[in-house]
Amino acid sequence: MLSPLIIKGKTIPLPIIQGGMGIGVSLAPLASAVALEGGGGIISSVALDRIITQRTGKKHDIYSAVREEVSIAKNRGGYIGINIMVALMRDYQKTVKASIDEGADAIISGGGLPLDLPSIQPPGDTALIPIVSSARSLELICRKWERYGYRPDATVLEGPLAGGHLGFKPEQIESEDFELEKLLPPVKDVAKKYGDFPVIVAGGIYTHEDILKFLALGADGVQLGTRFLATEESSATPEYKQAVVNAGKEDIIVVHRPGSPCGLPFRIIKQSSMYVSALNRQREPKCVFGYLLRRDVNGKYTICSAKDSNETHFCICSGLLTSAGYSQSGEEELFTVGTNAYRVDRIMKVKDLMAELSGKT
């Protein structure tokens, strides 16, 4: 039997967190289904304004969209959190405030170091959980957060086998020195140093046996993304889910140049039509939705690497929205996955997957 995971005084019956997969994959249907089975259900905040506006036919800004989606998920019960990327600079603070105001059980934040997260708004009962890739990054966060009188309520240690954006240099991803098993002990030491908060590991975890292995190594919980992507309750398009089922080991690659405007390495299925176009320089430089915009010298959000050149970056927001069924007609798709996606051979119900992961079947 798996022991519960306790974060900021709240108990998650099973120490299994569903990863926040954006754009539009991890929404209320998936998060609430996981939470009802005793795990931690996580919503992805990316592009929720567009997603909720299209779904409801009523105009939403990011603040109202986040509150609506968190509310829907929480109404069914269980532990509901939200994943917010630091790289979403334009929307980051409003998303954090909305999540706290709506009573999300946790904010999980990565895609950059969330150094100022506790300063945005008093979190109340909402747990603040940074995503890190090393003991050094967790130490930096803890030191900065102490200036705000706050310590992490937990942390997610994401290894190089995870899907989507990776917090590693390209040459580190295949190195034995950066295996999750080796990253965990020093991260656990930092967590103990700053109050002994829970460490949740992520990246390449696929089976019940994998979960038991990392719990035995000292992890307090695990986070999985790709396995929940391939569920009936996931909001990915049928084409996205089928691409995961069809993928072979050789089809899963890490891209960097061309890659995400974030500048972080990015794991995808190589047949994704958007990536093929970007690789062949067939895509015009553009930034359609502006979710990854950075500030210019005047403090305005106008800068995106994807709209200036097609040599090194491409507009991933368009591809990810299309992969969740929310983009413009005719836009190409971009399928992001974890390294073990090739092992997925069918689409499952969340109930059946959770039973498998918890060792009940």
Same domain for 76 and 175: yes
Residue-wise DSSP of 181-192: HHHHHHHHHHHH
Same domain for 292 and 186: no
Tens of pLDDT, residue by residue over 213-247, are 999 999 999 999 999 999 999 999 999 999 999 99
Tens of pLDDT, residue by residue over 87-104, are 999 999 999 999 999 999
- Residue 325: pLDDT over 90: no
Structural domains counted in the chain: 2
Same domain for 269 and 209: no
CATH number at residue 232: 3.20.20.70
Supply the range of the domain harboring residue 170.
Answer: 5-237+342-357
**Between the CA of residue 246 and those of 249, 268, 269, 340, 347, what are the distances in Å?**
10, 13, 10, 12, 11
Same domain for 76 and 16: yes
Tens of pLDDT, residue by residue over 274-301, are 999 999 888 888 888 888 888 889 999 9
Same domain for 233 and 192: yes
Same domain for 218 and 270: no
| Share of the chain residues as helix, strand and coil, in percent rounded to the nearest 5 | 35, 20, 45
Q: Is 144 within the bounds of a domain?
A: yes
Q: Is 242 within the bounds of a domain?
A: no
Same domain for 325 and 215: no
Same domain for 12 and 90: yes
Same domain for 93 and 199: yes
Q: Other C-beta atoms within 10 Å of 54: how many? A: 16
CA distance 314 to 309: 8
Q: Is 243 within the bounds of a domain?
A: no
Look at residue 328 in the predicted model and tell me its pLDDT. 63
Same domain for 129 and 32: yes
Are 211 and 190 spatial neighbours (Cβ–Cβ below 8 Å)? no
